[in-house]
Chains A and B, each alone.
Chain A
């Protein structure tokens, strides 16, 4: 029996008449990298938003570690160990890199409703924030304002922020989008590293990267699940090729 950490059951999200996510039942395994593929508009980001609590589903259920979290708010979802990164860089641009991660690391306090001692004295928080920056290769930029970073570095900071809360499960929405090849390689390496201790759910358009890191793939079309399987299964599935990977592979064959 597989060890599932997160599971959706007949999950749907409708926007008016549009079924952005349609009757999706997927099980995500612990300590695996599960990539979600699909053409634009397939509902991938909507799915991530449902899982992270930023959208409320129209119907269906979400279970995390066996507990129902269907109607959790984003903050509650984050608190139980589900971190996410955004497709569109979503950082505190006026803050330094360290401060960006500090906010995340401060979640280790039971509550931040603490009014007296300076936050800068919290050494554990500082260490966790620095660790998150280090793993994303931003140690040198620690005290630089986030707005002064290059686009690729901001993408890395996006991931560092997610890591700073110490999540168990990572929802990554196109972490490689807009990165140069060198940065991409570094981030793919980072994803591999992260996958050793955590569960990753990944949306990514860079096929090489996906095939390099993913254990399991789910292909979505029009909000619904088309097929789920290993890299090999998906690569060789004629349906998937028709619907998504395009006719390129077939004509080549």
Chain B
């Protein structure tokens, strides 16, 4: 229900513009890295829907990313040609179904139980792929070809081409952002935000909050599945590590560092964390210590994340205060 202030909107458009021209000027290593970051951003944006807007702290969100990736891998690993539309539909319906089942059970609990239950389900899926000899086990699965994105036998985008793939993912990221912004401005989104603020009151006003939370969980899970699908298509490889609880933990860290409850914050957080993961090992072999320190520093000093800092900066420059900015909505 909070409107993004004009200057911040402008800043975001500028960032999108920079992303759009990057492959033309930047080197291939970073084009590839940013592709990966944008895929992860789709994943963390979906987590922000849960953490930042619905108040559901899922500690197992990576499971749906992994399930999405495995759907592509399991059904199409040996296919000579992968029909993109068919594969995408299958993946999205599969992850939607998985998140519906997991969500239906988890939503019945709250607080610590919800956190632990989502974690436990993620672990269950992790071990399912890790131990099962039918799905590649520990080694993962290679996918022999790229999805073929064609309409009426006309190839739209060559997903084997790194630059094409980059723009393809950028488009998806912007689309997901716009889609969730729309959902959050709709009556449904209002109820979600209210649930996060005070669920008991929302019930007393006449809403079956369980269903709203469940639908939010399914939307987030499905989008995470989309991100997993893109990652599998990008690397042509899936591994159980995608579902590891460390991935879920890092995703939470990205969302909070970026600033939860803003959607775009998740993208900023993802960029920040992946770049750190890329840069820190060059400084020291034991860079995880620095990473841990950063996590703790976020909790203590930057609980509203980078986006929160942007909002404060904007408010400071405006001198009118945040309340006014909210009130314009």
Contacts and interface: CB of A to CB of B under 8 A. Distances in A.
B201 A91 contact: yes
Contacts of A144: 323, 327
B186 A115 contact: yes
A52 B329 contact: no
A103 B202 contact: yes
Given A75-B209, A115-B188, A54 B323 contact: no
Contacts of A99: 1, 190
B187 A90 contact: no
Contacts of B300: none
A135 B212 CA distance: 30
A119 interface: yes
A109 interface: yes
B283 interface: no
Contacts of B203: 73-75, 78
Interface string A69-85: 00001110011000010
Nearest to A92: B197
Interface in A96-116: 96, 99, 102-104, 106-107, 109, 112-116
Contact of A90 (B185, B194, B201, B207): B201
A118 B186 contact: yes
B323 A161 contact: no
- Interface residue SS majority, chain B: helix
B201 A119 contact: no
B101 interface: no
Interface in A129-169: 143-145, 148, 161, 164-165
A236 interface: no
Nearest to A113: B188
A120 B198 contact: no
A107 B187 contact: no
A116 B182 contact: yes
Nearest to B322: A145
B205 A112 contact: no
B327 to A, nearest CB: 4
A119 B204 contact: no
Interface in A33-86: 52, 54, 73-75, 78-79, 84
Given A78-B204, A92-B198, A96-B327, A113 B190 contact: no
B205 A165 contact: yes
Interface in B193-242: 194, 197-198, 200-209, 211-212, 215
Interface in B157-188: 182-183, 185-188
B207 A107 contact: yes
B190 A119 contact: yes
Nearest to B207: A75
Contacts of A52: 204
B189 interface: yes
A185 interface: no
A92 B194 contact: yes
Contacts of B100: none
A78 B206 contact: yes
Contacts of A165: 205-206
Given A113-B215, A144-B327, A119 B189 contact: yes
B69 to A, nearest CB: 26
A116 B186 contact: yes
A122 interface: yes
A94 interface: yes
Contacts of B202: 103
A52 B202 CA distance: 13
Contact of B187 (A95, A96, A122, A145): A122
A114 B194 CA distance: 15
Interface in A1-59: 52, 54
18 contacts: A73-B203, A74-B200, A74-B204, A75-B209, A79-B206, A92-B201, A95-B1, A95-B194, A95-B197, A103-B190, A112-B207, A112-B212, A115-B188, A119-B186, A119-B187, A119-B190, A144-B327, A161-B201
Interface of A: 52, 54, 73-75, 78-79, 84, 90-96, 99, 102-104, 106-107, 109, 112-120, 122, 143-145, 148, 161, 164-165
Interface of B: 1, 182-183, 185-191, 194, 197-198, 200-209, 211-212, 215, 323, 326-327, 329
Query: Closest 9 A-B residue pairs measured CB to CB?
Result: A78-B206, A143-B327, A112-B187, A118-B185, A92-B197, A119-B187, A107-B206, A114-B187, A79-B206
